[in-house]
Structure 1
Amino acid sequence: MEQTEATPDTVELQFQEDAALTEKMRLRVSSLRRSGRKREDGERLLLPHEAVYRLDFRQQDLRFRRWNVSLGGRGRVAVTGISQHWTPDLTHLMTRQLLEPVGAFWRGAEDPEGAAPRRPEADVRELGERIAELAKVRKVMYFLLAFEDGARPAELRCSLAFAARR
């Protein structure tokens, strides 16, 4: 997990893909398909354009400052927080464990190259504040990132800046 300090009181955390957990969730989908079974009532299955990312918190007492998002091309990325703390046995993801609001970031065809992604400011601020609250009791937090309309994981740089309370 990459954690950089921009200033002595600022902690910046990069979203990192959890490839192993993403793969486990994809195996769950393929297993259900092969066996002809249906998902459990309320279970949220990983969609093909989604991946699991994580933030690791070395400090728990943080105050949200800002999102730092760079989207190299056109497209849309939706960041959904997960309130569940996963265990290695992969407890199934249930819809009720997904946090609201979703953080949405996008660049359209009309946006100039290199422009910052657009976003609903109130929603991304609220999500950032909820993440800071959950960090008080978590060392790790998981997220579903959905890549749509041409967005690709390789073109995304996403981090959160927090003020470290002392």
Structure 2
Amino acid sequence: MSSELELPFRPDTELTEVMRLRVQSLQQRGQKRQDGERLLLPHEAVYRLDFTEQSLRFSHWSVQLVDTGRLTITATSQLWTPDLTHLMTRQLLEPAGVFWRGTKDDSVQCYEADAYEFGERIAEMAKVRKVMYFLFAFAEGCTPETVNCSINFTTDR
């Protein structure tokens, strides 16, 4: 028997703050980032997905944008711990999930093939992970307060 499992993306305020402090520290010292290092931009935040089960099949995305705007979700490929290592660009997975809403009357749109492939990759990562980290980039009026995002899987229980 298979059932539906919805996993919400949760903001990781602690990791986001650590990344912001790294940027601030480099700026204050007048230093440059390490070669290949990916610094957090002001309109980005770190989110996490906690897997309660490991054997998942991607079903669909559930992305709600209250207002017009664009949300880009990029996954990190490693169990990233910024207290030990910096986030490197090679650790970012392709494709990213891009979701947008043009006007208040529009429904949320996405690049469907990319979003589907992205969801399948997340399901694959869940087989070996308990948690996964993501960069959420907010643009064109989208903010963390106006986004509700989760991913749905089917699972054999």
Aligned pairs for 1:27-42 (under 5 A) are 27-42=21-36
Q: Would the aligned equivalents of 1:70 and 1:157 in 2 still touch at CA under 8 Å? A: yes
Residue equivalent to 1:14: 8
Structure 1, residues 101-151: CA drift from partner, whole Å, max 9, x if none?
A: 010001113x51xx4211010000000000000000000000000000110
Say yes or no: does 1:134 pair with 2:125: yes
1:89 to 46, 65, 83: 83
Backbone CA RMSD of aligned residues: 1.5
TM-score (structure 1 length as normaliser) = 0.91
SS in 1 for 2:25: helix
User: Could you give the per-residue CA deviations for residues 24-50 of structure 1, whole angstroms, max 9, x where no partner exists?
Assistant: 000000000011110000000000000
Match of 1:67 in 2: 61
- 1:146 matched to 2:137? The reply is yes
Which segments of 5 or more consecutive residues in structure 1 lack a partner in the other structure? 1-6
Structure 2 runs not aligned, ≥5 long: none
Q: For residue 94 of structure 2, what is the aligned residue in structure 1? A: 100
Work out whether residues 69 and 100 of structure 2, in 8 Å CA contact, stay in contact via their aligned partners in 1: yes
Following TM superposition, by how much is the alpha carbon of 1:165 offset from its aligned partner in structure 2, in angstroms?
2.6
Alignment of 1:164 with 2:133, yes or no, is no
Hey, what does 1:4 align to over in structure 2? none
Aligned-residue sequence identity (percent) comes to: 61
CA distance in 1 between partners of 2:151 and 2:102 (Å)? 23
Specify the SS of the correspondent of 2:113. Answer: helix
Structure 1 Cα separation of the partners of residues 82 and 39 of structure 2: 17
Query: Match for 1:158: what amino acid?
Result: C
Q: Secondary structure at the match of 1:9?
A: strand
Equivalent residue pairs, number? 157
The 3-state SS of whatever aligns with 2:109 is coil
Q: Which secondary structure state, in structure 1, belongs to the residue aligned with residue 154 of structure 2?
A: strand
**How far is the alpha carbon of 1:87 from its aligned partner?**
2.7
TM-score (norm 2): 0.96
User: Pick from 23, 32, 39: which aligns with 1:45?
Assistant: 39
